[in-house]
Structure 1
């Protein structure tokens, strides 16, 4: 009897041992597969339509090059929800994690991760950045290849001068434009400095009001109206863009138009938006990231400036304006999207969608 029991116990031990060996072997294979799949950490500064579109474009750009999230790559997405300190904390965690590449969408996210990644542990690819040079992360304006060895990306300096030119075409007597902006945003400072030069050359007074967060935008815009603004301009400022509805509200109450270089929902109430197609910029950023993942040397890739133009004109915003703004026919023909009483109309315009990539001077 004891002999039979011992035989049974020995058989059970052998079965259990074999099962454990098989499980460990399978786990090893799964772990090897999981580790062979690239992992990307993606940081987005805030939830705005433009940043969301850019992030979607980056993920699509990766997918078109064979890096499909959940199948051939793992993308962990993070959002600072507009809080700079939160973004810095997330950036530190991302750098300390075992990512194969870090992807940042916006100037503030570029700065947060670059500062946390100063020792160059991980390659960082950036997009949706107005002026990478003023971000203060070691990128040269004179030499596109002069950048940190682990940092490369795409700049997109939005067309400030062209936006003001369009405003003057719609209202030649324009003399005072108001803008609220956050001095903590390097990209916003670059746009405002560009606008100052443009306005000075054209005899326009640029009225400015500083904001620290989106909650203070409404009050700042009201102050600009009180100082005599004839139009309100939304520059490439994330803080203000989050509160774009507040800017439009102030404009409606004062019967003055709002225009921007950050296209949002076509029917949000701005008279026109002349800026970049953030989805396409994001897509180009994703394609660049795929090159790095396939072994391209970041030090041999220049930092470029790309501006695929997106132009929205809203004719319904002319209603009840206190001054004689008008939309010339040639502007309507140039627009990608036109909004009128009948709805939103997408247009295909020859030669409209690209602009020479000229950064800030």
Structure 2
């Protein structure tokens, strides 16, 4: 009789869907700002769509490093000690911290522009080991073209970034190459922490015809300081992050980070259901939105061309 019951229990366990298991997904980001928050929420939505519901069969843990790489490393070590089912680091610094902390727990990074340059994986198609994820490599060539379309007389682009963020250093190299093709030059101004952002933006006044901010978490977390400088100096400011347009940039062509999070969550689900992360190719997130802010353009002395207004997927008046 006992053997029959054991056999029955084993058969029930086998036919239960993977979503019936209790799993823990631990998520961390280098800092809190709208794009990264949207990615986190998208991950959770994808998990729920696959049947993993918080309070039922899912424990969803989230911690922000508040912009501090040392804190990111502490969070990574804590998560590894807690041994969750999957760790999801959002942003390059958080991903580097987590990947350095574990070779065993599955890791699915997201919002990382250059996974190879950040040394998270050695091969995008066959990452191997315990790591995979999504890249949000910006369409920099399209950004340069958009800036030229809005500002036909632009000659110099000011690049405002954190020189300590691998993602932003990689994007700087791409921007320089694309700017050269377009006959433009790039002027750099760096801020290594949020308190330095406004000063770094001010350093571009008189040296650049426009400011371009990449998907840099340090700069975006203190975007309002840069916007204030741009408005005062009538220096057009553009971002790679579409969520930043509502906060005062003129325009951005990029990803909807909630959708990026959902795509990331779908990869997490595959791992929860038994796939090996090292066998899942690292992909560049899909989707591209053009968001414009007419009020911001006016404050910075810019009239948006009708061609741009018509193409916009979202307009902020």
Structure-2-length-normalised TM-score: 0.90
Contact 1:158-1:307 within 8 A present in 2 as well: no
Contact 2:250-2:292 within 8 A present in 1 as well: yes
Contact 2:130-2:276 within 8 A present in 1 as well: no
1:329 aligns with 2:306: yes
RMSD: 1.6
Q: CA deviation at 1:320?
A: 5.2
Match of 1:165 among 137, 145, 150: 145
- Taking the TM superposition and a 5 Å limit, the aligned residue runs for 1:309-320 are 309-319=288-298
Q: CA deviation at 1:333?
A: 1.9
Match of 2:257 in 1: 278
Match of 2:128 in 1: 148
Q: CA deviation at 1:157?
A: 0.4
Residues 301-310 or 235-244, more deviating: 301-310
Match of 1:115 among 100, 103, 106: 100
Mapped partners of 1:339, 1:107: distance in 2: 29
Match of 1:232 in 2: 211
1:288 aligns with 2:288: no
Q: Secondary structure at 2:93's aligned position in 1?
A: helix
Match of 2:316 among 332, 335, 339: 339
Q: CA deviation at 1:256?
A: 1.6
Contact 2:220-2:244 within 8 A present in 1 as well: no
Mapped partners of 1:311, 1:48: distance in 2: 19
C-alpha distance 285-243 of structure 1, shift in aligned 2 (>3 A): same
C-alpha distance 36-318 of structure 1, shift in aligned 2 (>3 A): closer
Give 5+ residue unaligned stretches, structure 2: 1-19
Contact 1:95-1:121 within 8 A present in 2 as well: no
Contact 1:311-1:336 within 8 A present in 2 as well: yes
Match of 1:125 in 2: 108
Residues 49-58 or 65-74, more deviating: 65-74
Structure-1-length-normalised TM-score: 0.79
Match of 2:15 in 1: none
- Taking the TM superposition and a 5 Å limit, the aligned residue runs for 1:293-304 are 293-304=272-283
1:139 aligns with 2:122: yes
Mapped partners of 2:156, 2:171: distance in 1: 17
Q: Secondary structure at 1:224's aligned position in 2?
A: coil
C-alpha distance 79-335 of structure 1, shift in aligned 2 (>3 A): same
Mapped partners of 1:299, 1:239: distance in 2: 30
Mapped partners of 1:339, 1:43: distance in 2: 30
- Segments of 4+ moved more than 3 angstroms: none
Give the total of aligned pairs. Answer: 298
Match of 1:78 among 45, 49, 63: 63
Match of 1:60 among 32, 41, 45: 45
Larger C-alpha radius of gyration, 1 or 2?
1
Contact 2:230-2:300 within 8 A present in 1 as well: no
Mapped partners of 1:320, 1:229: distance in 2: 17
Give 5+ residue unaligned stretches, structure 1: 1-34, 341-361
1:261 aligns with 2:240: yes
Which structure exhibits the higher relative contact order, with contacts defined as CA atoms closer than 8 Å and separated by 6 or more residues?
Answer: 2
Q: CA deviation at 1:36?
A: 4.9
Mapped partners of 1:318, 1:305: distance in 2: 30
Residues 305-314 or 103-112, more deviating: 305-314
Mapped partners of 2:316, 2:150: distance in 1: 16
1:211 aligns with 2:191: yes
1:190 aligns with 2:208: no
Mapped partners of 2:128, 2:80: distance in 1: 16
